[in-house]
A = this chain, B = another copy of it.
């Protein structure tokens, strides 16, 4: 609960106001986020927001209503969508944080990504029209829904939108390839350093402190995501504290030495 507060100190409804339900229904109109995209704290950082700044009025109105209609509120551990369920929408994280988890053939859970405000979730569902992962809220989280069929329709009418969607998807490809590289070729220390730097960058990009923030996920989740044992994550974190690369207190990180971490990233690369 306090975890949620620090992630983004945005003008968000107090936790106590958040309705409790375990899954977001598609039918019920959520009134929590009545404001249009224009008022959103994400500002320019959001995908739909870029749509609304487009020239053609018809499209703008269309999209604005498309996006506005349902803003879902999730509490910790709520599921946004399930692996294997029919794909119909993309979601933009507005506040909070979400993890996407893939259950493999053997029943093991693998975290494929953490998604912070401004990130888009659900892209993995487009190819098979079923979600390839389960999306779970790590904190109290609000998302905007982008029904994909409608998005496709608008995209086919407005080339700029189409182009933008292509770019969004290509960005995801690049991100995943970078992650492949990390997992295949970097040491535990470097993975963790890179992970922290990426988080830091994310916050900075949103005009939040880059050297001091709260981790929305547990050590175990970090380990799972980075292909490391929990113990390794802990040990490296304490090692980083000893070298003064950062300070931790539970899930909050402070005094992040960004330059130091970057140095760590560049020096000793595994030569395969």
Contact = CB atoms under 8 A, between A and B. Distances in A.
Interface string A89-117: 00000000000001011101010100000
Nearest to A268: B106
A228 interface: yes
Interface string A61-103: 0000000000000000000000000000000000000000010
Stoichiometry, as copies per complex, reads 2
Contacts of A166: 126, 152, 165, 169
Contacts of A179: 176, 180
B181 A102 contact: yes
A44 B104 CA distance: 30
Interface in A140-171: 152-153, 155-156, 159, 162-163, 165-167, 169-171
A47 interface: no
A21 interface: no
A267 to B, nearest CB: 8
Given A106-B266, A177-B124, A184-B227, A163 B169 contact: no
By Cβ-Cβ distance, the 3 closest A-B pairs, closest first, are A184-B227, A126-B170, A127-B170
A174 interface: yes
A266 B173 CA distance: 27
A172 interface: yes
Nearest to A224: B272
26 contacts: A104-B181, A105-B265, A108-B185, A108-B269, A110-B185, A112-B180, A124-B170, A126-B167, A126-B173, A127-B173, A127-B174, A133-B177, A152-B163, A155-B156, A156-B159, A166-B169, A173-B173, A173-B176, A176-B176, A176-B177, A176-B180, A179-B180, A180-B180, A183-B227, A223-B272, A229-B272
